[in-house]
Amino acid sequence: MGAAGAPACRFGIGLALVGAEKLYRLQGVSMVAWPNPMPDAGPSVLIADDSRTWRDAVGEVLSREGFRTLEAADGEEAVEVVRCERLDVVLIDFHMPRLDGLGALRIIRRERRRLPSVLMTAHPTDVPPEEVRALRIATVLAKPADRRVIVTTVTRVMCGEGEDEVGERF
């Protein structure tokens, strides 16, 4: 049993699988995703951020811990990946072109209500707390974050542990 009598997390972390690049074409949108070659081996995480460097860094950290990672460069791509892939959690940037993180999460919530989500931003104080609550965002992760914080945040969010207020830490 986990905290407060909740069942223990069902995800086994630590398989250290390496991802392979895959180009997706979804409804005319090109995006690069990095799925694990063994799709059922680990939990699936979508990393949606307009910074390729950040996506690559977070993807590498999570892949080394046994997560299957997919990537999207903006909110529209993130929505398409959510529609087409089995995912366990979404890490999504607050500020992105075409469709920002909150706009993407509004669409995702209408279509798939229970997908755990983490909003990432370099400016956590810019995020409206009422939007975080309304969209049931588990936490706001300040960027940049170190690998331990990223892995701990994703693992806890997938296990149903979240925050009640913006800016609180686990």
| Residue-level length of the chain | 170
- What is the rounded distance in angstroms from the CA atom of residue 118 to the CA atom of residue 109? 13
Segments making up each domain of the chain, as ranges: 17-158
Is the Cβ–Cβ distance between 62 and 30 less than 8 Å?
A: no
More confident residue, 24 or 125: 125
The three state secondary structure string of 134-164 is HCCCCEEEECCCCHHHHHHHHHHHHCCCCCC
- What is the rounded distance in angstroms from the CA atom of residue 71 to the CA atom of residue 43? 14
Asked if residue 92 has pLDDT above 80, the reply is: yes
- What is the rounded distance in angstroms from the CA atom of residue 45 to the CA atom of residue 48? 10
Is the Cβ–Cβ distance between 18 and 168 less than 8 Å?
A: no
Spatial CA neighbour of 46 closest among 109, 89, 11, 106: 89
CA angle 12, 13, 16 (to 5 degrees): 125
Q: Does domain 17-158 have CATH number 1.10.3720.10?
A: no
Give the global pTM. 0.74
Tokens of 119: 């909003």
pLDDT per residue as tens digits for the range 28-87: 344 444 444 444 568 999 999 999 999 999 999 999 999 999 999 999 999 999 999 999
Asked if residue 101 has pLDDT above 70, the reply is: yes
- What is the rounded distance in angstroms from the CA atom of residue 135 to the CA atom of residue 122? 20
The DSSP letter of residue 124 is: G
Tokens of 57: 């860094």
